[in-house]
Structure 1
Amino acid sequence: MRFRRAEKSEEPEINLIPLIDVVLVIIIFLMLTTTFTKTGGLEINLPTAASSDAATVSNEIVVAITAAGDVIINQQPVADRRIEALAAALGKAVPSGQQNPVVVISADAKAAHQSVIDVMQAAQRAGLAHITFATQLTSP
């Protein structure tokens, strides 16, 4: 009797290509479904002046804040620093016949942040919605 020898069975091997496909699909899924949260705060883009010619606007109210916290509206000092007094002074500084004047705040670098906030609140109470900040030209 002739016995057949058992044929050699193939060695088991692990096919990595399907494993790589599954991992890539999982990575793509995570990238698409992940949300990034922003921290609560203000985004501030600091302005830069590109040209040396400053545009002049006829209906603007210039508010200067000194390092000591003194407020000067259209070159007229305001004695009282309270928000109500600043709002009244801003209301009087509105050019006659002009609608929606622009409030230009020019604060000293060492001025208290609270002084700037007070001027912004006073402008809001006076009904002035357009507020901008003066910039200084950067030296080349």
Structure 2
Amino acid sequence: MLLERRRHGREDLNINLTPLIDVILTLIIFFMVSTRFNRDTQMQVNLPTAGAAPTEAALPAEIIEVTVDAAGNFFVNAKPLVNSQLNTLKSALQEVSNGNAELPMVISADGKAPYQAVATAMDAAGQLGFHKLTMAAQSPSEP
């Protein structure tokens, strides 16, 4: 039989594709594991400025005000906190609100305050269930 194939000038060649498929699957797994899937985007943010101050009638009688100074220290209703930890801020907010998460909250931050401090204040409010959250803005100074 081998002689018949050679006489006709054709020889059956078999190519084994199993190792090739194994290499391709290994490469796919390697690229899937080593690829970063986070999206790094850059966005220009224009912070708002207030054109007019709110009237006294617009502010409710009971309000919780969280102030963040330039060093990242917290003040709840003008009383300084002992540290800038999330749990300390949550305890102070719980004490001031008496557990009432329906009270409106205003977060006022210095222009040079660390962004992390503002995010911590917002996180504390969210964890305690405050949903009436306002960020204070300053009126632009007159030239």
TM-score tier (shorter): 0.5 to 0.7
| 2:69 corresponds to | 66
* Preserved CA contact (<8 Å) 1:69 1:112: yes
Root-mean-square deviation (CA, aligned residues, Å) is 2.6
The Cα of 1:95 is off from its aligned counterpart by 6.1
Alignment gaps of 5+ in structure 1 = 1-38
Q: What TM-score, normalized by structure 1, do the two folds share?
A: 0.60
For each residue in 1:43-80, what CA deviation from the matched residue of structure 2 results, as whole angstroms up to 9, or x when unmatched? Answer: 96744433344332223211110001110000111112
Query: CA 1:43–1:139 in structure 2 vs 1: closer, same or farther (change >3 Å)?
Result: same
| Identity level (%) | 33
Does the alignment pair 1:51 with 2:48?
no
Which residues of structure 2 form unaligned runs of 5+?
Answer: 1-39
What count of residue pairs does the alignment treat as equivalent? 101
* 8 Å Cα contact 2:69/2:109 also seen in 1: yes
**Partner Cα separation in structure 1 for residue 52 and residue 118 of structure 2:** 26
Name the counterpart of 1:129: 131
TM-score after normalising by structure 2:
0.59
Mark the CA change 1:52 to 1:89 in structure 2 (over 3 Å): closer, same or farther: closer
Select the structure that is richer in helix.
2
